Structure formats: C-alpha cells, structure tokens
Amino acid sequence: KNGSGSLSVFGTDLIVPIFNEPLPFLEVRGEVYMSDESFLRLCERQELLEEKPFKNPRNAAAGSLRQKDPKITAQRTLDIFVFNIQVIEGETITTHADALKRLHELGFTVSPLYCRTGDIETVIEKIREIGNERGTFSYPIDGAVVKVDSFSQREALGSTAKFPRWAEAYKYPPEEKETTLLDIEVAVGRTGVLTPTGVFEPVFLAGTTVSRATLHNQDFITEKDIRIGSRVIIRKAGEIIPEVVSVVSNPEDTVPYRLPETCPSCGEVITRVEGEAAARCTNPQCPAQLMRNLIHFASRDAMDIDGLGPAALEQLSAALQVHSPADLYDITAQELETLDRFGKKSAENLVAAIQKSKENDLSKLLFALGIPHIGAKAAKLLAGAFGDMDALIAADEEQIAAIDGFGGIMAQEVYAFFRRHSAIELIDRLKAAGVNMTAEAVTTDTKFLGKTFVLTGTLPNLKRTEAAALIEKAGGKVSGSVSKKTSYVVAGEEAGSKLTKAQTLGIPVLTEAELLTLLNDEDNTERNEA
C-alpha cells in the first residue's frame, strides 16, 4: 500500500479505497477476474476486429494483465477478490475469517460466500449450496475451497512441495441441460467460411439464458447427427461458451442436415477444399463478407489506416456507399465533413491516412486482400518471391508452391484467388487509385543466410515483429519453435519454455543487444559460432 491508494497486482495498478486507519505495511493476495458480461463484450469486439477471441474469462483476465499497454488492460473491465493477508504490521490477526473481515473493513473486495463452521456436514452442505447457486453469479466458478481457519494450525499442518495440507478444493461438474434444436442459421465470415449456428428452445444454463450455439462445420453436424428438431444436451465450455454435447433423440420426420450448396448471401457456389472442414463462398464481393473485408483491409497488420476502425467503416458504408477497399481511395474530406463525428480536421486526417496507405509494401497489400490461408508472413514470402503484383498474377500454381515455406493448399488458394474476375477487377481499381503494387527491393545482405532464429520473451526495445524484420532483412529466417536446426534463440524478459529447450539443446542464446551486434558486425557471426 502506498500513499496514492494503489495496489500493485501482477504489475497492473488497481485503484482501491484509501485506508481510514494507517498501517505501517500491508501485503495482500487476491485473484483478478473478468465477469461474464465483460467477457462477452470483449469477445464481441474481438470477433468484429477479426481477432481470435479468448476461450474463457480466466484466460481473458490473465491475458489482459499481461498487456504491455496499461490502457488496453484498463479497457478490459477487470475485478478482484482479495482473499489473503500475506503480511501485516501494526496489528495481529490469528484466523482466516478475521483476516477477511479486516480486509473488508479496510475497503478491499472479498468474496461474500465464505462461512466459518466447525463440522464437516456443514462444509458439505455449503459446497452443495454454492454449486446450486453458481449459475446466478456474475462470474464463473468451477469449484469451492475448504481451508483450516486457524493460522497456528495451518503452520502445524505444513505443506507438500506443491500444495498446502490445510486446504482442499472441490471441483463442480459442468452443468448440462436438454433442449430442442429449432433451426440452423448459416452466417458467412470475412474469408467466406460458412458457420452454422444452432437456435434452441431457451434454457437457463450456468447463469444465463442460452438459445444459440455454434455448430462449427458440416463434419461436426454429421458426426453427432444433429438435425433440425433434435433433442440435444448442451453445456457451457469453460463455463461461458455454449456447445452441443450430444444428441438425445431425433424425431422420425427429421432428415440429416446439410449446409447449403450456394452462398446464402450472394448465391455463389460453395466450395470445400479437400482435407478442410470449412465450406466457403469464393466470391470476394459477397455482401456478407464486405464489411469484415473492409475491417481487415484497414487493420494494423494490413494497410494500417489510422482512424479507420469498425465504427467509422460502418458509417462510411451506410452514408457513402463504401463497399469495396477500392472505394476508400475515392473518399474526399468534403464528403466526410457531412457525416456525424467528423469535423474538418478529423476528415483531413482520415483522408491523409488513406492516401498514406498507398505507399505500403506489396506484402501488406497481399495480406490486406484476405486471401484464405495467407497471413502476414506468407504475404511477405509471396511479395519477396515475385516482386510485383503482375508477376504474381501471372504465376502458375507450381511456381507458387515452390516458394520455401509454402504448402500445396496455400498455393492453391493464391492461384484460385487471382483467377477470379472480381479479384482482378479490385486490383485494377487499386492500381488506378495509385496503390503500390511492388515489393521493397530485395536485400543483398546475406550475413544471416541459412540461419534460423527463434524469438521469445519481451525484448527491452524492439517489438518481436521489428526484430523479425531485421533478421529477415539480413537473410535469416524466424521460426516459432526451437529445434536442433535452430541457429540462435533471442531471449528477453519472461522467456519461457523456448529458452529452456534452447539451453537443453545447447543452442546459442542472444540478448537484444547481442542480436544488434551481430547485425552490425559481419565478423561477429563467425566469432559467436566458434
């Protein structure tokens, strides 16, 4: 506790009330958590931004605390239950119940569910009571903990190498309910993937009313024999995401469900690549995909258009009929000034950001186009291999597959994308608007040629993407995993299992400063290897 009234928890400042009674020193322990409501809002934002959503509130809370930018952590609406006094000076506390009471008096949030009892029957009944009521809580729980109250008795009982002997946890089984599948709705994502969602008779499950759950893909539906009209068992995976566990029964008049053969949005034929579970609409101008395509096109790793987030794009789509990435380059500041939330300065800034994006390297444009299976790294490989858009369009599937790091499916998707009239029409419009279609000059620096690097932990000055770019510019490769073929591991703070594996295999480990020395001193590479 310090004079400002802030409590440091895992490096994140959480504001707590100033104590009415000054204490020389107090150290407490607690658990940061994210409520169900906050988690659902976060997942909605992540899905809209085409980010991978967290699997459950526990992972979301942990990931939020690990953010380097405290502003991001602050946006995540975290809470905390303080459950232990680790050290206290100025007074003596001898039991856990008294400690919780004192924490509450000092202004900390403690769990309201705790109770003190002297017999095991009451303990068992309380565990059952919490289990029956856990669906009404605003946060997920998966168990209850029984602790010895007396601190002196805890000290006498001691601990094993991993667990205290004075505490025991009980885990609740996931709650499951039976309901009827009323319908299956099919949505089309940014990359054209069809996602079926089951619509159920509403049931109250683990604290909320559930009426919808993803059915993933055709393989999932077929494996479980899910049909419209099925009686199904559902539960919440990780206590939050509804899922179908099994089919109880199918009425006689029902038939096996099949995803549509044409896109429900644009009518194009649906395709499914052999070996993939996803069924996909291949029309890049499909209306259902346009908004998600625009969001992806403007995102940081793609064309990086500052100020052009989902809300602004939705406004431009509705008011200025912006439906294609090429439409963005036709927007004028005067048009923007007629819209709500746009003044003269903000309109000029957005137009300037759009115009600036024309200068991006070809690799960023290729990633922005949203070609299936082509991420930022694969886009760099494509740009480096062909140099300009025209050469890539003219390449056959074999030439694309020959790129080191490319697979057959990736090559197939790239080749198929540039065979579509709608894709070529979009590229022609982007060319006419002045968008760069060439890659940066290929570096002649070969000091890292044939070397494979793995980055782990937090570097003091460089972002991992920046360090990777420097390595690749020097002719090296960056891998995500450590193996005997790894040349160097670059480790920062909080480096984990990758560093341990490198040390086990005897792979040289570099700091950021040593990496920069290698980059700037050609002879130093040989000295390190020696």
Per-residue pLDDT tens digits for 438-483: 998 655 567 888 899 999 888 888 888 788 888 988 888 888 888 8
Q: How far is CA 287 from CA 259, 291, 293, 322, 420, in A?
A: 19, 8, 10, 12, 16
Give the pLDDT score at 18.
Answer: 47
What percent of the chain has a predicted confidence (pLDDT) above 70? 92
Least confident residue range of 48-62, 399-413, 478-492:
48-62
Q: What is the pLDDT of residue 441?
A: 63
Report the mean per-residue pLDDT for the chain: 86
pLDDT in tens, 366-392: 999 989 889 888 998 899 889 999 999
Q: Do domains 287-359 and 362-432 have the same CATH topology?
A: yes
| pLDDT per residue as tens digits for the range 78-117 | 999 999 998 888 889 999 999 999 999 988 999 988 889 9
pTM of the predicted structure, to 2 decimals: 0.51
Sign of CA dihedral 516, 520, 526, 530: negative
Beta-ladder partners of 477: 452
Q: Is the pLDDT of residue 409 over 90?
A: no
CATH number attached to the domain at 6-171: 3.30.470.30
Helix (H) or strand (E) holding 99: helix 96-105
The average pLDDT across 204-209 equals 74
Task: Tell me which CATH code domain 452-529 carries.
Answer: 3.40.50.10190
**pLDDT exceeds 50 at position 295:** yes
Per-residue confidence (pLDDT) for residue 318, from 0 to 100: 87
Q: Which of 163, 164, 146 is nearest to 155 (CA)?
A: 164
Q: What pLDDT is recorded for position 418?
A: 94
Question: For position 325, what pLDDT does the model report?
Answer: 93
What pLDDT is attached to residue 283?
Answer: 79
pLDDT, tens only, 45-65: 887 777 777 877 888 888 888
Q: Mean pLDDT throughout 169-196?
A: 89
Between residues 389 and 1, which one has the greater pLDDT?
Answer: 389
Q: CATH homologous superfamily for 287-359? A: 5' to 3' exonuclease, C-terminal subdomain (1.10.150.20)
Direct distance between the N- and C-terminal alpha carbons of the chain, in angstroms, rounded to an integer: 51
What is the topology classification, in CATH, of domain 362-432? DNA polymerase; domain 1 (1.10.150)
Q: What pLDDT, on the 0 to 100 scale, is given for residue 442?
A: 53
Mean pLDDT for 318-346 is: 92
Residues 90, 134: Cα–Cα separation, whole Å: 37
> Looking at domain 174-283, which of 2.40.50.140, 2.40.10.10, 2.60.450.10, 2.30.33.40 is its CATH number?
2.40.50.140
The answer to whether residue 77 scores a pLDDT higher than 90 is no
265 — pLDDT class (breaks 50, 70, 90): confident
What residues contact 134, with CB distance under 8 A and at least 6 apart?
A: 141, 172, 206, 207
- Under DSSP, the state recorded for 180 is E
Q: Give domain limits for the chain.
A: 6-171, 174-283, 287-359, 362-432, 452-529
